[in-house]
Structure 1
Amino acid sequence: MRSRLIFLHAPAVPFLINTWVSGNVAQSLLNTTTWRWGFGIPAIIDPFTTALVFVPLLLGVLRAKRQGHLDHIPTTPQLLSSPKNWLELLIKVDFIGLVLIASSLALILVPLTLGGGNAAKWRTAPVLAPLIVGATVTLPSFIIWEAKFAKHPMLPKKLLRNRHILCGLAIALFSIASSSTQGSYLYFTLVVAFGKSVEAATRVRNITSFVSTIIGIAVGFAVRHFRYLKPFIIAGAVLYIVAFGLLIRYRGGHSVSDFAGLVGGEVVLGVANALIQYPATTALQAVVQHDNMAIVTAMFNACFQVGAAIGSAMAGGIWTNLMPRKLQAGLERAGIAGAEKLALSVYGNPIKFIAQYKVGTPERNAVDGAYRDVQRYICIAGICIAVVLFGFTFGLDNPRLGDEQSNADAEKSDSDDKSIDEKAKVKA
């Protein structure tokens, strides 16, 4: 267990290269072709990179089949050949629970992102109706289904009563929700409010992952020596708050100090991620038996993805509701003719605007101010989430990470200890 944190960082190692290469790739694409190839290139590369995972798995299956280890296991066509097997599969994967939670997240998060703009669409029925249905129907239905009716709930009820596990899942959700708020529109803030090139903006946008990977590997070796995780996680939560303090202060400007302040905030945020996200995963794995390790890991990753969606939705809601108004108000204060039309143009295509209006022009100054103002609100939302995250870190236990695969005493409740004592007394 004490070495697990080191190996959890193995899939993140490519960030050490991608952070610096991605800026050059993005700039070259825009210089020679259109942004659509930004989606086309991964579609070509992914089949080759995933083959590095798929081929070893396939070879492992063929090897096990030759050795007779799979003789008692039915094949996929056999499993899906009858309605009974289909029903059993749907029950075991908790299909109804998956549909309810997916529907809840879609109905709640998508309207938060799409609503807003000049027309304040979030006040209209097409946006309000999904929000109400998601919050009052599908989400409560999911909770009731998982608590009362699911034969194979997503997380066993015994684990849901464990404070350490619940706090760990909350840390997964709130850490990425906080981080996602500031990162959702950081690229456009860098290009517009800081006046950076596509190459520089792309690199700074990814620098958090770069720092997180380097520091995370170092933390992994430190944990292997110290064997405890909770102090690192609490320190990471503190650094989240510090990072957002810097990002609120340095949210725009064309001076070297303004840009350095932003980069400093992103670096601190990367250190905070290294101290929280993978250590929190290891902390969850340390308190369960090996049989439940995959379950808690999957739940952690699920909460992580949900948190990312929540953070992006919050940032999207703030952006779509405030940016058009801030742009128009700033342009009107600067005395720019046709402020409303220009504000809509900037909101729809900021890259085109900065190509036409250089730094120092009245129009650019007004737009820069609007971007700084909106980014401030987004970072305030992020620091509020970070404060909640800080509170949950104190709910974690602090298990000692040993040399074995899992803790032999994991998942043992107080009642289990009492029953063991009673049996010992009876034998005595």
Structure 2
Amino acid sequence: MRSLLHKLGRPAAPADIVEEVQHNPNDKEAAVGTTSATNASDPGAETDSSQEISKEAQAGIQRVEAMTKVWTRNDMYMAYITIWILYFVDALQSGMSTSFYPYVTSSFALHSLTATTSIMSSLIGGLFKLPLAKILDIWGRPQGFCAMLGCLTIGLIMMAGCNGVKTYAAAQVFYWVGYNGLTYSISIFLADTSALKNRALLFAFVSSPYIITCWISGIVAQRFLDGPGWRWGYGAFAIIVPAVCSPILWLFYKNHVKAKKAGLLPKHESKGNFWQTLKFYVIEFDILGLLLITTGLALFLLSFNLYSYQKDQWKSPLIICFLIFGGLLMIAFALYEKFLAPKTFIPYQLLMDRTVISACILAGALFVSFYIWDSYFSSFLQVVNNLDVVKTSYVVNVYSVGSCFWSLLVGWAVRKTNRFKWLAVYFGVPVTILGVGLMIHFRQPNENVGYIVMCQIFIATAGGTLVICEQMAVMAATSHEFIAVVLAIEAMFSNVGGAIGSTVASAIWTGVFPKHLAKYLPASEQQNLTAIYGSIVTQLSYPYGSETRNAIARAYGDSQKYMLIAATAIQAISMVSVLFWRDIKLDSVKQNKGLVF
């Protein structure tokens, strides 16, 4: 890290890494001449006036283009270093919060409501990216960033001071909207300030803190629990997170002032009276379209998350209504955007672009597959492989550490070759199929856990490749104006995929495990079938190697085999998806203006 900071601290950098985006002779916008001036405080920085601010773009996009035309390399380096630190703090806090969860819920009596709240907060936090994309485009990146920072901080404060499950429930919604929105806003800012061919490397760089935090977040949580308590754990980060964000906010403000003095910012025009202003923003935000898609997705995803709480499960009238009306609203959204919307959330032609839609389908398929095989993974390691909680966490974290580390190499490969499709076609999908497919054999009783770790390494390297490549695919296929929207759509497909994957895993588990458990349990333990099925504590209470424990392990193995077969089969969709991508040469796509990485 020290050598990296030294590299970033240089006043100048090679022209192929940090560059002023020069005029593209094929650009339809008129060039107004080429001049450059040397900044006294940063000799390596140049002010590019070869391209005007996009006059047809929305105000938020115009403002960020203006900022990149006036900021210096030192400003850019400071922004990226601050973002890395912010990702580190956010990842540390998120991991710590997960460790706090059972201790927080144990303080309340209404555990079932807390579980439902967790579903709702995750769902709302994921879907909020859709309206946030429009906020970033219309009002601006700093405005969206500040709003999400406010939500995150409010959530942490409420969790620190909550005295009941209802307050904690509301706090979770604020927290996850803020957390997901903050990381999403940063991703859009990175896309705004980087050349397309370097963007994969930059995305991988700011995600690298997860390599460290997954090992230390539990230690930090334990120190708080042994000391001042979980409330101070939340309270401390309610102070730390805004403090860490202050440098990037200062950079936003500083360069906003510079751009304003340079006359680069779009002029604020009156929208008329209150009703005229309201009508303008209703059209600009595509309010009806957003309501249709977010409500439809919310109902559709809730059906997958809440069916197990219903007496009749999938036959419940509530779940059937959720599925039907959710599906109809999503269809209505597509028809409205195609035929009626005065200003669309995303151009219909772009949504139907084969690269964009295939990348989104890949995102959904990856999450379906991941949540199928991952849902009962930690339980399997403890019951079948007899690992304790700490060692189980090490094996589970192989994916996080491996994918984040490998994505750095993927980013470098994308930058060197100027292409991304080949990595997905020849490495990402095949190695994912290899890793998940091998687990069909190795995730069984009496198999060495080292082979499972090997499979995890395969899946981690492939996952790190595909996540980067799918993001590059949706960004390369569009213009700067729609970057925020296509990344939000890609995240939406991931949410849907995760919900479907969890449901498939649950269906296989409830359909296979109890039946096979009854088949393998010795006669003396048949009366304990329900208790064994319902509790991992009961499962672990039987000595490792005993007849009952072996029977439980065999039932686990049978369940895992069906899950892994399903997870492997889903990858056929992934392979077809990446084959439909256009093989885009990244350095031929000019999206950004001004000084970029």
Report the TM range for the smaller structure's normalisation.
Answer: 0.7 to 0.9
- Is 1:180 the counterpart of 2:366? The answer is no
Matched with 2:462 is 272
Among candidates 207, 217, 231, match of residue 422 of structure 2? 231
Aligned to 1:306: 496
Paired residue type of 2:209: P
In structure 1, distance between residues paired with 2:273 and 2:535: 52
What residue in structure 2 maps to residue 3 of structure 1?
198
1:346 is aligned to 2:541? no
Tell whether 2:579 aligns with 1:394.
Answer: yes
My pick for the range that moved more, 17-26 or 90-99, is 17-26
- Tell me: CA distance 1:346–1:88, structure 2 relative to 1, closer, same or farther (3 Å): farther
Q: 1:121 to 1:294 in 2, by over 3 A?
A: closer
Q: Is the contact between residue 424 and residue 469 of structure 2 (CA under 8 Å) also seen in structure 1?
A: yes
1:65-96 deviations in Å (ceiling 9; x for gaps): 5855779448xxx9999354344334333333
Q: Is residue 527 of structure 2 the alignment partner of residue 336 of structure 1?
A: no
User: Does the residue aligned with 1:358 lie in a helix, a strand or coil?
Assistant: coil
Aligned to 1:414: none
Given the alignment of the two structures, is residue 201 of structure 1 paired with residue 392 of structure 2, yes or no?
yes
Q: Which of 103, 106, 129 in structure 1 is aligned with 2:295?
A: 103
Does the CA contact (< 8 Å) of 2:429 and 2:466 recur in 1?
yes
Q: What is the percent sequence identity of the aligned residues? A: 24
**Deviation at residue 233 of structure 1 after TM alignment:** 0.8
Counterpart residue identity of residue 61, structure 1: Y
User: Which residue pairs with 1:219 in the alignment?
Assistant: 410
1:369 is aligned, of 554, 564, 568, to: 554
Structure 1, unaligned stretches of length 5 or more?
A: 409-428
Q: What secondary structure is seen at the aligned counterpart in 2 of 1:3?
A: helix
CA distance 1:406–1:263, change in 2 (3 Å): same
The 2-side partners of 1:80 and 1:182 are apart by 55
Quote the residue 1:316 is aligned against.
Answer: 506
| Displacement of 1:403 | 7.6
1:294 and 2:484 are equivalent in the alignment: yes
Contact 1:23 1:198 in 2 (8 A): no
Return the letter of the residue paired with 1:400: K
> What is the CA–CA distance in structure 1 between the aligned matches of 2:280 and 2:232, rounded to whole Å?
39
Determine if contact 1:115/1:320 at 8 Å carries over to the other structure: no
Name structure 2 gaps, 5 residues minimum. 1-195
Residue 237 of structure 1 aligns with an amino acid whose one-letter code is V
From 544, 548, 551, the counterpart of 1:359: 544
Question: Could you say what secondary structure the match of 1:221 adopts?
Answer: helix
Q: Is the contact made by 2:200 and 2:468 (CA closer than 8 Å) also made in structure 1?
A: yes
Q: Distance in 1 between matches of 2:251 and 2:566?
A: 48
Distance 2:461 2:507 in 1: 28
Residue equivalent to 1:412: none
Which shifted more, 292-301 or 316-325?
Answer: 316-325
CA distance in 1, matches of 2:402, 2:257: 43
Pick closer, same or farther for the CA change 1:97–1:242 going to 2, 3 Å: same
- Structure 1 position 298, deviation (Å): 2.7
Shift of 1:282: 1.4
Q: Which has the higher contact order (CA 8 A, sep 6+)?
A: 1
What is the CA–CA distance in structure 1 between the aligned matches of 2:319 and 2:338, rounded to whole Å? Answer: 29
CA distance in 1, matches of 2:224, 2:439: 28
Which deviates further from its counterpart, 358-367 or 119-128? 119-128
Per-residue CA distance 1:191-223 (angstroms, 9 max, x = gap): 222221111112221211211111111121122
Q: Check conservation: 1:171, 1:389, Cα contact below 8 A.
A: yes
Separation in structure 1 between the aligned mates of residue 375 and residue 250 of structure 2, nearest angstrom:
37
In structure 2, what is the equivalent of residue 419 of structure 1?
none
Deviation at 1:375, TM superposition (A): 2.1
Counterparts of 1:46 and 1:176 in 2: how far apart (Å)? 31
Assess if the C-alpha contact under 8 Å between 1:346 and 1:353 holds in 2: yes
Q: 1:370 to 1:355 in 2, by over 3 A?
A: closer
Q: Does the C-alpha gap of structure 1 residues 355 and 188 become closer, same or farther in structure 2, counting only changes over 3 Å? A: closer
User: What's the offset of the Cα at 1:118?
Assistant: 12
Deviations 1:160-197 (A, max 9, x none): 23212221222222222222221222222222222211
Cα 1:310–1:399 shift into 2, 3 Å: same
SS at structure 1 position matched to 2:583: coil
| Equivalent pair of 1:19/1:203 in contact (CA under 8 Å) | no
* 8 Å Cα contact 1:114/1:320 also seen in 2: no
- The superposition leaves residues 215-260 of structure 1 with CA deviations (integer Å, 9 ceiling, x where unpaired) of 111121122222221110112111111111122212233x5x5311
Alpha-carbon offset, residue 156 of structure 1: 0.8
Give the root-mean-square deviation of aligned CA atoms: 3.4
Q: Quote the Cα distance in structure 1 between the aligned partners of 2:483 and 2:501.
A: 27
Q: Deviations over 1:338-396 (max 9, x none)?
A: 53xx333334431x214421212233222222222222222222112111111111101
Alpha-carbon distance in 1 for matches of 2:493, 2:457: 24
Larger deviation, residues 156-165 vs 266-275: 156-165
1:130 to 305, 322, 335: 322
Give the Cα–Cα distance (whole angstroms) in 1 for the partners of residues 565 and 233 of structure 2.
36
Q: Provide the C-alpha distance between the structure 1 equivalents of 2:285 and 2:504, rounded to a whole number of angstroms.
A: 30
TM-fit CA distance, 1:49: 3.1
**Alpha-carbon spacing, 1:46–1:239, altered in 2? closer, same or farther (3 Å):** farther
Q: Which amino acid aligns with 1:297?
A: L
| TM superposition score normalised by structure 1 | 0.79
Deviation per CA, 1:95-128, whole angstroms, max 9, x where unpaired? 3333333333333333334445997632343433
Deviation at 1:275, TM superposition (A): 1.8
Q: Does 1:112 align with 2:304?
A: yes
Q: Is the 8 A contact 2:383 2:540 kept in 1?
A: no
| CA distance 1:232–1:40, change in 2 (3 Å) | farther
TM-score normalised by length of structure 2: 0.59
The one-letter amino acid of 2:569's match is C
CA distance in 1, matches of 2:572, 2:345: 28
SS of aligned partner of 2:385:
coil
Residue 148 of structure 1 and its aligned partner are, at CA, apart by: 2.3
Q: Is 1:327–1:366's contact at 8 Å kept on the other side of the alignment?
A: yes
Provide the residue aligned with 2:216 in structure 1.
21
Change (3 A) 1:30 1:140: same
User: How far apart, CA to CA, are the structure 2 residues paired with 1:393 and 1:264?
Assistant: 25
**How has the CA–CA distance of structure 1 residues 24 and 380 changed in structure 2, closer, same or farther, with 3 Å as cutoff?**
farther
